[in-house]
Amino acid sequence: MSNKKILICDDDEGILDVLGLILEDTGHTIIPEINSLNVKAVMDKEMPDLIILDLWMPVLSGDQLLSMIRTTPVYKDLPVIIISASRDGEQIANDHLASAFIAKPFDYDHLLTVVGELLN
Amino acid sequence: MDTFQHGKFLFSGASLQTSLDLLTKALDASISGIILTDNKQPDNPIVYCNSAFEKLTGYQRNEIIGHNCRFLQADDRNQKERKILRDSIKNGQECAIEIRNYKQNGDLFWNDLYVAPVKDASGEITHFIGVQNDISDRKKVEQDLRQQKVSMEKIIAERTADLRDSEAFLTSIIQTVREGLLVLDRDFKVISANSHFIRTFKVTSEDTVGKELYALGNNQWDIPQLRELLVKILPTNNPVVDFEVEHDFPHIGRKLMLLNAYRIELEGQFKDQILLAIEDITDRKEIERRKDDFLSIASHELKTPLTTIKGYMQVLQRNIPDNASEKFSITMGKVAQYIDRLNSLIAELLDVSRIQTGNIELHEAPIDFDKMVAEAVEGIQTSAPNHRIILSGSTNVSILADESHIIQVLNNLISNAIKYGPDSSVVEVHISNVSEYVKVSVKDSGVGMTSEDTKKVFERFYRGNDVQKRFPGMGIGLYVCDQIIKNHKGTLWVDSEKGKGSTFSFTLPKNGKELAKNE
């Protein structure tokens, strides 16, 4: 498996850390970002292969970020996983054309499967 | 004077003596007491009385003759009739009075007394004649009548006061109650409006009473839903119960109202009047919405650290050192199990809150039913290695339902079957087509329940007595399942016998709730 870049954005430090810990084993490069306002800049700089986004984040929410990604020609086909503890998370993810939705708390194996599928 | 009264009393040509005897006998035969008093003697003594007078008064002749007749009044000397009597005698006039007299034995009797003077040729009064009749019985009847009339009047006064009291009481209730109440006549004109209505809708009594409902406050009550309710539903004799109407009023803004209406069918002055109760639930709905929001946020916030903990746990579980003790691995497994339980408790709480406020939304979509059930069974099977879940039957249909909700029900029923049958090893799941429904049955050979429990098992927070002691849980899982199936217009029920296991079954309309409703 070639080395890919995964950008993770969540406003919760613990989630960022544990996602990094899990995905690290895949051998991919993990780019954690706690401030959603920085996502665009990081994307432009790092050109990630996959983005994992939380929904409820201060100032700029996950669905707003996703809309921005889907309307930016360069990124419109970029795989994006929405990850949320919100009840209507799946609905929001589908409405904004996310590639996948994973409910919090997530299952280790399920997460790896979804990530694996989207990267190949 | 010539012969006695011109011979008028010389009966049959008899002698004066014989005629007098006859006359006396006639007087004695009278039922009226008759006396003569001698006006020429001091104090008008009685000089004659007939037998009826003796009988009437109970006195013997010897106790009567020579007395003034006032002895009949005993000590009762203050009657106004006495003055009339005295004046008549003084003025030599006749008089008729009704006076209280007393018999020899002290008994009261009412005496209807007629007194007339007897004058001699010179016009001088020589005697008085008194004729008396005992009218006690008549007086008693009169008195009874009077008393009855008085007591009737008293009762009527009391009843009227009671009525007025209860009317005032009812009115005060109607005026105090925090719900708008209108009484309409059959043409929807307002007969009365209570103060809550006046306050809530910021109108005045004068602008309201006597006006047609729709015309109130510049036609702001001309609400299509309200017209439909009054014109279409009420005439069918069905009361209107909890009819929700939303309307944007020009001055007071958007209001969500709950309407209850009732038409009086009873014959009488109120027939065909309409009672319309209007409850303003705008604030209540707003509070419910805020509660839902709060719970959504709370559960989201609780789940965030839980996600982290679960993540770390899973990392740890996958990195157990080769030399770790069995106790270490088991403990890790238990921690993971309780993290899952905490997670489902948070989810359940949110579910209950939403169901209670009726805010569960269904996202209906076509589902491959058999596949969905198979996957749910498989999912639980992996986490319950000690039980065997046997899936039988097939439907080969696609149904219109909210998949995540139905999976939640399946998971709940199958996990219950496992949870409450710790000593049995098999859970049977059977699916089938029944008419326009699909049916799922989950059968366990667990502890079962009493018929008492089967009636209450779908109630919120209900837990069977035995179950309470032996198994953990909050008693909301089945309640949520029941509500979900009801939302889909299906039914959920249980057949069970104590000690012999339970079978939970549910049906779902294949074509979704809307079609099911119209059928």
- B216: domain CATH number is 3.30.450.20
Residue of B300, B312, B317 with shortest CB distance to A18: B312
Q: How far apart are the first and last CA of chain A?
A: 9
A95 touches chain B (CB under 8 A): no
Under 8 Å between Cβ of A38 and A48 = no
The ipTM (two decimal places) reads 0.84
Contact A107/B at CB under 8 A: yes
Give the pLDDT of residue A44.
93
Hey, what are A93's tokens? Answer: 């993810």
CATH number (domain holding residue B316):
1.10.287
Mutate to test the interface with B, among A108, A110, A115 (most CBs of B within 10 A): A108
| Per-residue model confidence (pLDDT) at position B33 | 92
**Which positions ≥6 away from B492 have C-beta within 8 Å?**
B409, B458, B481, B482, B485, B486, B504, B505, B506
Q: Are B519 and B381 part of one and the same domain?
A: yes
- A101 touches B: beta carbon within 8 Å: no
Question: Alpha-carbon distance B282 to B226, whole Å?
Answer: 17
CB A4 within 8 A of CB B300: no
Pairwise CA distance, residues B404 & B367, whole Å: 10
Same domain, B515 and B372: yes
pLDDT digits (tens, 9 = 90+) for B458-478: 776 666 665 555 555 556 678
Does residue B103 lie within any of the structural domains?
yes
Partner-chain residue, chosen from B300, B307, B339, that has the shortest CB–CB distance to A56: B300
**Closest-approach residue (CA) in chain A for B301:** A85
B388: domain CATH number is: 3.30.565.10
By residue range, what is the domain housing residue B299? 282-359
**Residues of chain B under the 50 pLDDT cut:** 1-2, 518-519
Same domain, B198 and B128: no
* Tokens (6 digits) for B12: 């049959």
Per DSSP bridges, beta strands B180-184 and B190-193 are antiparallel
Cross-chain Cβ contact B315/A87 below 8 Å: no
Please report, for chain A, the start and end positions of each structural domain, with discontinuous segments joined by +. 61-103
Q: Which of A104, A107, A109 to mutate to test the interface with B (most CBs of B within 10 A)?
A: A104
Give the pLDDT score at B359.
Answer: 59
C-beta atoms of B300 and A14 within 8 A: no
The amino acid at B59: Y
Residues 6+ apart with CB under 8 A from A106: A83, B307, B310, B311
Residue B265 domain flag:
yes
Q: Are both B197 and B242 inside the same structural domain?
A: yes
Q: Are B426 and B394 in contact (CB under 8 A)?
A: no
Q: Is the pLDDT of residue A87 over 70?
A: yes
Do residues B203 and B327 both lie within one domain? no
- Regarding whether B499 and B367 lie in a shared domain, the answer is yes
Is A87's CB within 8 Å of B350's CB? yes
Q: Which of B344, B359, B374 is the last residue of a domain?
A: B359
Chain A interface mutation, best of B303, B308, B337, B357, highest count of A Cβ atoms under 10 Å? B308
Longest dimension (CA), chain B: 165
**Is it the case that residue A25 has pLDDT exceeding 60?**
yes
Q: How far apart are CA B406 and CA B369, in angstroms?
A: 10
Q: Please state the domain count of chain B.
A: 4
Within a domain: residue B24? no
Residue B202: predicted pLDDT: 81
What's the DSSP call for residue B17? Answer: H
Residue B148 lies in a domain: no
Are A51 and A78 in contact by the 8 Å Cβ rule? The answer is yes
Chain A: closest CA distance from residue B304 (Å) = 7
Q: What pLDDT does B353 receive?
A: 65
> Which residue, B479, B391, B484, B379, is CA-closest to B429?
B391
Q: Which residues of B234-246 are buried (b: 16+ CB within 10 A; e: fewer)?
A: beeeeebeeeebe
Name the closest residue on chain B to residue A102, using Cα atoms: B307
Query: Could A56 and B308 be called an inter-chain contact, meaning their C-beta atoms sit closer than 8 Å?
Result: no
- Rounded to whole angstroms, the Cα distance separating B508 from B437 reads 5
B96/B204 same-domain check: no
